[in-house]
Chain A
Amino acid sequence: MAEKHKPAPMVDEVSDFEILEVAVRELAIEKGLFSADDHRRWTEYMNTLGPAPAAHLVAKAWLDPEFKKLAVEDGVKASLEVGIDWINSMPTNFGTPSDYCNLRVLEDTPKLKHVVVCTLCSCYPRPILGQSPEWYRTPNYRRRLVRWPRQVLAEFGLQLPADVEIRVEDSNQKSRFVVLPVRPEGTEGWSEDQLAEIATRDCLIGVALPKPGVTANAKLPVHPAVNPVDHDH
């Protein structure tokens, strides 16, 4: 890759992005396009999101074959059982504008491994999985995963034998996707909460496989924010 485009952060100076963001938000409110309360409510809604519901959906599917069947057939209906109503639980009552209401749960088998990308933008099941990681949004991941999936997965530490079919899901329209990995060995007798802990975000995107003892995503460098939001998501 060519020289990295990363100017030194100017902490003593407000950025043009920060100024424009304030300007756009204030103008939209002054013109009555939305209210300050609308913006606050959506911010609060965003702050409730994260990968926990999707992890529990996977854990439930591992424990209950009937629920697994429902999850694969109707992801939106199955989401209700982990507290996510794709249509009515956000401020709109018609779903979020950008995520729509068509969750599809991709069931892995010992011979089939799914991994998700959105080559055209960065479509991601936010209502059930939170905000996407930065690497998922990069042109690099989007360019390469569809064509060199085994190389990209290897960079995330996942090497699969040739007799396992890798299926890349290019999420390009109104469906959103969560991977349902194979339940790993060594988890016999585990509770839903225990199982949910190893169904990490990376496993649900498909760049990692769940493993007893591994409850965190791949350890990657974190690019710090100049003015970070003060909550986790």
Chain B
Amino acid sequence: MPSPVRQKVMQHLNIVGLLQPALHKETHAPYPDEVDNAHYRAYTRMSHDVGGEPDVPIQWEEKEEEVWEHNTFVTCEVLAWRGVWNAEERRRRQNVDVGQTQYLGLPYYGRWLLTAARILVDKQYVTISELSNKIDEVKKRYE
């Protein structure tokens, strides 16, 4: 019987196997001569730049806001208020640096949140160990 952790690992691998960029090719990480300039541009495109992409009509919806979503927005604005980042730095990180898969796969504020965590580490205000320990500690409060 695989452990719960292994089960989660396998579940994760099955999901990320499906979360590929849309262009499927036989080889990944191709040789340089297999990527022409058009494909270079496609692969390095900025994930935020979606204007004009074909899509089909959907049901327009309103949405209630989760408490964590509201808190995340406030945290991001206050980080900017106190000079940890500016809004454009935030947008670059959460809308482009995240890459296409996370950009389309995570909830809107999920990207804000991961980016807020990332800035603390990238600018060395918090070590990755401190972040990891804190997540673990918060998780245990709810067990």
Contacts and interface: CB of A to CB of B under 8 A. Distances in A.
Taking the complex as a whole, does A directly touch B, i.e. does some CB pair lie under 8 Å apart?
A: yes
Q: How large is the interface on B (under 10, 10 to 19, 20 to 34, 35 or more residues)?
A: 35 or more
A98 B94 CA distance: 13
A19 B52 CA distance: 36
B10 interface: no
B66 A221 contact: no
B61 A97 contact: no
B105 interface: yes
A5 B139 CA distance: 25
B61 A221 contact: yes
Nearest to B135: A23
Contacts of A100: 87
Given A24-B117, A27-B126, A98-B80, A134 B62 contact: yes
Nearest to B83: A33
B63 A38 contact: no
Nearest to B111: A121
Q: How large is the interface on A (under 10, 10 to 19, 20 to 34, 35 or more residues)?
A: 35 or more
Contacts of A20: 113-114, 117, 135
A31 to B, nearest CB: 5
Given A19-B142, A22-B138, A97-B81, A229 B51 contact: no
B131 interface: yes
A225 B55 contact: no
Nearest to B57: A155
Given A43-B70, A147-B51, A24 B87 contact: no
B72 interface: yes
A11 interface: no
A20 B63 CA distance: 21
B48 A134 contact: no
A191 B101 CA distance: 51
Nearest to B51: A119
B75 interface: yes
B78 A39 contact: yes
B51 A142 contact: yes
A46 B120 contact: no
A220 B74 contact: no
A48 interface: no
A147 B52 CA distance: 5
A220 B58 CA distance: 12
Interface string B99-113: 000001101111001
A143 B54 contact: yes
Given A23-B131, A143-B51, A28 B138 contact: no
27 contacts: A17-B68, A17-B72, A17-B110, A23-B117, A25-B71, A27-B134, A28-B75, A28-B84, A34-B79, A42-B81, A43-B70, A96-B77, A97-B77, A97-B87, A98-B80, A98-B90, A119-B52, A121-B91, A122-B108, A139-B104, A143-B52, A143-B55, A144-B55, A222-B63, A225-B64, A225-B69, A228-B67
Given A100-B87, A120-B95, A138-B58, 10 more contacts: A17-B66, A21-B113, A23-B131, A34-B81, A38-B81, A42-B74, A121-B95, A142-B51, A155-B60, A222-B63
Interface of A: 1, 5, 14-15, 17-28, 31, 33-34, 38-39, 42-43, 46, 91-92, 96-98, 100, 117, 119-122, 131, 133-135, 137-144, 146-147, 151, 155-156, 170, 217-218, 220-229
